[in-house]
Copies of this chain bind each other. A is one copy, B any other.
């Protein structure tokens, strides 16, 4: 393994490219436009891997991220976040450069944009399909029709359709759970489509969560998908049922700095500022990461019974299986699969390939 001196995010390019290829083929199979979300990797290079796999349009979660990817030559960008009016200046600049799509969920946002936008943009109405995070409930027909009417009157807001992130799929704990939630999302969307007295060919529907996009088998009534996490997956996705642990494309290599035989624990350099504080519960115990066996190419299969049991700012405490504890020595390196790769990637800021090559984020 390349020389590790501090917590280092390893990326397995083969797994990542296979995850990309699988989702590309799934979109093709279901005749869906594929507009992957870039928030997980935030990397120009991984963007190129997507481009090589045929991707032409992308999704991002901030104006800053949109500007970065516009500079990388992406020309069809959806900012999948309720439009932030305080960034209208940057939005105007972006709209000159690329085919920009915004999420506009409120008449007051639409009215302000109508006054302040310098050039036309496309807009999605965001739908709340059960996650209760952002967007209009699919049952709010009056609110949705009111927005569509505003867009029809507007010379700068060109209505494109609906966007939804069914984040409640994260509560799933099996493929069956995911498919049940996915079906309820489709039902809500298709009920809305029936209720709207319009030709459904004039607008599109885009949905965007990794669990449903990974395990859904029916995409009736859907035109586009925009998952993000699938490029790396992580332990949370494995627990949800979206992927196998062998599909996880990143791990954090952490130096071992101390050993505690009485507790069968080791201390590692790798804490909340590297992993984030996200955890999954297994057997009633919070797990902040799972240790994988080391391998020449980074890591191999999970080291059963060995997990990240505690995190403070820079410290990690790993609970070890008896066999692993005996092997781990101060000065060695352990590789830890992250609970939430989006946050871990954002915190670590760059990727290390097995070749030693580094890939940066914006």
Contact = CB atoms under 8 A, between A and B. Distances in A.
Contacts of A85: 255, 257, 330-331
A83 B257 contact: yes
A62 interface: yes
A277 interface: yes
Contacts of A5: 84, 86-87, 90
B331 A313 contact: no
Interface in A35-90: 39, 61-64, 81-87, 90
Contacts of A313: 39, 61, 342-343, 346
Interface string A338-361: 000011001100000000000000
Contact of A84 (B109, B257, B317): B257
A167 interface: yes
Interface in A297-351: 310, 312-315, 317, 329-331, 333, 342-343, 346-347
Nearest to A63: B6
Copies in the complex: 2
Contacts of A258: 82, 105-106, 109, 134
A263 B132 contact: yes
A108 interface: yes
A343 B277 contact: yes
Contact of A133 (B108, B134, B267, B269): B267
A103 B71 CA distance: 46
B84 A267 contact: no
A267 B82 contact: yes
A257 B310 CA distance: 35
A188 B289 CA distance: 32
Contacts of A62: 6, 269, 314
A264 interface: no
A259 interface: yes
A278 interface: yes
Contacts of A317: 133-134
A272 interface: yes
A315 B134 contact: yes
A277 B105 CA distance: 26
A4 B87 CA distance: 9
6 contacts: A5-B86, A83-B257, A87-B255, A106-B259, A108-B329, A277-B277
**Pairs A-B, 3 closest by C-beta atoms:** A82-B257, A82-B258, A85-B331
